[in-house]
Amino acid sequence: MSSLNITVIGAGVVGLTTALKIQELGHRVTIVAEYLPGDEKSIRYTSPWAGAHHVSFFGDEDPKQRDMDRETFRVMWEMSAGPAEACFMRIQQTEYYAEPKAAPNPLDVMPNFRYLEPSQLKAGAASGVEFETVTIDSPVYLLYLLTRFLQNGGQVKRASVQHISQLVSGGFLTSKPDALVVCAGIGARTLGGVEDRDVFPIRGQTVLIRAPWVNFGRTLSSVDGTWTYIIPRRSGDVILGGTKANDDWHPHPRPETTTDILERTLSICPELVPPEKLAELRRKGVDPKPEDLQSIILETGCGLRPGRKGGIRLERGLFQTIDGHSIPIVYNYGHGGYGYQSSWGSARIATDLLKEALA
């Protein structure tokens, strides 16, 4: 296949990963995005807000998502011991469930997987598992992907695109693209020429603390759908969360939610408190409280995960231009909270779709 001009819309984790996979085909790739890695955090740019860790609950009931997640884990596990090591942290992860979970567990493919004994469960948990995985320092990882893309000869154009016809006509680019790949995340809902009304926000709120003594991950999934997690990063920062609120567009952290997150995470991980302070509390027989974490809080934040009714949109088509011509287009968006953990798998599928479209 000859080298063609491919334009990728979006510079989140999905857009960057997809652009890298397309480069492997030998094409000239340009990313067009309003926000880029390294920018000040914004509610309009979701990927930097992610935790993130690789924990996939998809099994045989959704083999496509399961396979994308497992493919991505294999790539990230290898990356975590290579040149991208600084982006990752290999950890022991413990998952607590408020209800009994029947075997087999879809996580049983993870390194050193095992079921917890009843004596090892936290209050509020009826079952649990333990395994090894990786956490991803999201801002660091996004910069790594962008740097790798640029080193491979990729081009970046910062622009706010109202309609994909602006790209097809060459309005923002030095040359017209031979194909478009849409990785617009939550923006796919309003991007002209796509306007996918099945896309909706899943708002998540987090607290970032400085706690380099925490080198393990814990999560509790409650009956009411509440999701409590501790995700350490290689830098020594730790993400605490979280929330999952469909169709909630609120752009700022809610103080009452921050308090709730701190209370929940302390309930499953009192070790978040600085060791000397925790030892003092234990001598007094006092449980840690949110105020015991105030001195190590770095920031509170929230992001809008790009949910989609029907799941990820991974398909190809043709976009008709005003002058009657058509251009191949591939869609890769709607990952919800699974953007990082499925990124390499969905990028590989999108790249295969592009090859078919250009054949």
Which residues make up each annotated binding site for FAD?
46-47, 161
**CB within 8 A of 225, min separation 6: which ones?**
244
* Closest to 31 measured CA to CA, from 10, 12, 52: 10
Residue numbers in the known binding site are 46-47, 161, 229, 305, 337
- Which residue type occupies 146? L
Q: Specify the 3-state DSSP secondary structure of 89.
A: strand
- Which residue type occupies 166? Q
d(CA 75, CA 340): 12
Q: Specify the 3-state DSSP secondary structure of 3.
A: coil
**CB within 8 A of 272, min separation 6: which ones?**
209, 211, 214, 230, 238, 240, 265, 266, 288, 293
Strands 88-97 and 216-221: parallel
Q: Specify the 3-state DSSP secondary structure of 182.
A: strand
Q: Specify the 3-state DSSP secondary structure of 108.
A: helix
d(CA 60, CA 292): 43
Residue numbers in the known binding site for D-dopa are 229, 305, 337
